[in-house]
Structure 1
Amino acid sequence: MRAAIFDFDGTLYAGETFDLLMNHLKYHPTHKNRYQKFYRAIMPPYIGYKLKLVPEAVMREKSMQAYLSAFHQLSETELTDYFREVADKMKDNLNQEVKKRMEKHAEQGDFVMLVSGAFTPLLDAVTADLPVDRVIGTQVSYPNGILDKRSPVRHIQSERKIEEIKAALGDREIDWNDSFAYSDSVSDLPILELAGNAVAVQPDERLRTIASKRGWEIL
């Protein structure tokens, strides 16, 4: 069996999820009062990152935690509906060529995976009509059906993506030499190197350089 692994931000989705999440909360008719709480929480790790005192991975995880914490005591149903609103804004900004590739892989019987640091319920909503066999994202915990800001957030990034991919595949025998991986960022280099067919999608400068040297397809 072949695998086809797709990144989300900058790959399937042409924009940046966290930027959209921030704006959606800031101007939301019901939840905009939560924005200031989120903003106050996100500034210390962000400033620390800019001063090179906080690693980027830590800053990103704390940012995800801060976002969810703003919705403390919201029900799973309410937050799922909120993420569906965000997903509706994303659907017109999907990379149509990447979407076609995903559909083609599904038609060929490949195991299609979407791997991202974005929140899983958001990814589920965006890909509801797409042929994705497994969505891997940052999980949201709802003890007793209610969001609890004290629940730790395990942001899916860097080496965690590889861990989650292998865990999701389980005992499936994957022909990695014949498999595909799609991403826009050099941060996903381990995933791109995992598959025999790496595709750089609108790549950042460092990934474009690597892709050119290695003869990878640039989309």
Structure 2
Amino acid sequence: MKLAIFDFNGTIFPKETMPFILNQWYKNKYSKYKLLKVFVPLIPLYLKYKMGLTSNLSKEEMEIEAVRGVSKIFTGMSKEEINNFFNRAVISAKKFFNKPVVMEITECKKKGYHTVLLSGAYKPFLREVGELLNIDTVIGSQFLYKDNCLNMISREGIISGSNKLDKLQSFFKEHKIDWENSKAYADSYHDLQLLKSVGKPVAVDPDFELEKVAKSNNWRIIHCN
């Protein structure tokens, strides 16, 4: 089996996923109290992340804290309510999808690749994206439920750049993967380990560090914007 692995944030979707989710919460007129309760504590973290200010957390650790922090807005909601929210969110998100990457997904399927959506975004959200884009396998950050209501999201259940390859290999451990002929699409230097694991890495609108690596290794680069 050969895989075509696609990142979401910055690759399929050019916007920041966590702020987008909070914006969808506001636009769809969910509780403003819960929004403020979740958003206000995240402001310092978000400013440090966007402006590159000094922090005792790495960029990846800040992303993990954002995923955990935003997830609190769904606490107490049922699976059905959460799925309905993300169904609406994906309808709004799809108009921003990078068309060249969506075309790559279609072409990979035609060529017999098993397509994979691998991202730190929430799995209920990614599952809706996967259905929309006809992606075979979805691997994302897991919600934990108790009595059918969201309880929490564990740190161990969050997917980040440093553990993406481990999560991917664990998921496909019962399959014989042709890594040399597999593809991976990503935009961030944090995904370097994943990109190096396949024979056909593709940098999509890469950040500065990834672009340097891609050019030095003659990797394919897709510029969407």
Q: Same fold (TM over 0.5)?
A: yes
Q: Distance in 2 between matches of 1:112 and 1:27?
A: 32
Residues 81-119 of structure 1: per-residue CA shift (max 9 Å, x gap): 111111111111111221121112112221111111100
Provide the residue aligned with 2:8 in structure 1. Answer: 8
Unaligned runs of 5+ in 2: none
Provide the residue aligned with 2:173 in structure 1. Answer: 170
Q: Distance in 1 between matches of 2:85 and 2:121?
A: 14
State the 1:7 CA deviation. 0.8
State the 1:54 CA deviation. 2.5
State the 1:191 CA deviation. 0.8
Provide the residue aligned with 1:129 in structure 2. Answer: 132
Q: Distance in 2 between matches of 1:185 and 1:46?
A: 18
Is residue 203–residue 220 contact of structure 2 (8 Å, CA) maintained in 1?
yes
TM-score normalized by the length of structure 2: 0.89
Is residue 130–residue 137 contact of structure 2 (8 Å, CA) maintained in 1?
no
Provide the residue aligned with 2:25 in structure 1. Answer: 25
State the 1:32 CA deviation. 2.6
Structure 2 residue matching 1:115: 3-state secondary structure: strand
Provide the residue aligned with 1:36 in structure 2. Answer: 36
Residues 212/124 of structure 1: CA separation in 2 closer, same or farther (3 Å cut): same
Is residue 134–residue 168 contact of structure 1 (8 Å, CA) maintained in 2?
no
Is residue 48–residue 54 contact of structure 1 (8 Å, CA) maintained in 2?
no
In structure 1, what residue type is equivalent to 2:39? Y
Residues 118-162 of structure 1: per-residue CA shift (max 9 Å, x gap): 00110111221323121111111111101124x524320022211
Provide the residue aligned with 2:151 in structure 1. Answer: 148
Say whether residues 1:189 and 2:183 are aligned partners.
no
Q: Distance in 1 between matches of 2:27 and 2:33?
A: 9
**Overall identity of the aligned pairs, in %:** 29
Q: Distance in 2 between matches of 1:53 and 1:106?
A: 42
Structure 1 residue corresponding to 2:77, chosen from 68, 74, 79: 74
Provide the residue aligned with 1:100 in structure 2. Answer: 103
Residues 157-210 of structure 1: per-residue CA shift (max 9 Å, x gap): 022211110011122111211111111111111111011111111111111111
Is residue 162–residue 190 contact of structure 2 (8 Å, CA) maintained in 1?
no
TM-score normalized by the length of structure 1: 0.91
Is residue 106–residue 131 contact of structure 1 (8 Å, CA) maintained in 2?
no
Q: Distance in 1 between matches of 2:57 and 2:211?
A: 27
Q: Distance in 2 between matches of 1:124 and 1:26?
A: 22
In structure 1, what residue type is equivalent to 2:29? P
Aligned length: 218
Q: Distance in 2 between matches of 1:32 and 1:5?
A: 37
State the 1:31 CA deviation. 2.6
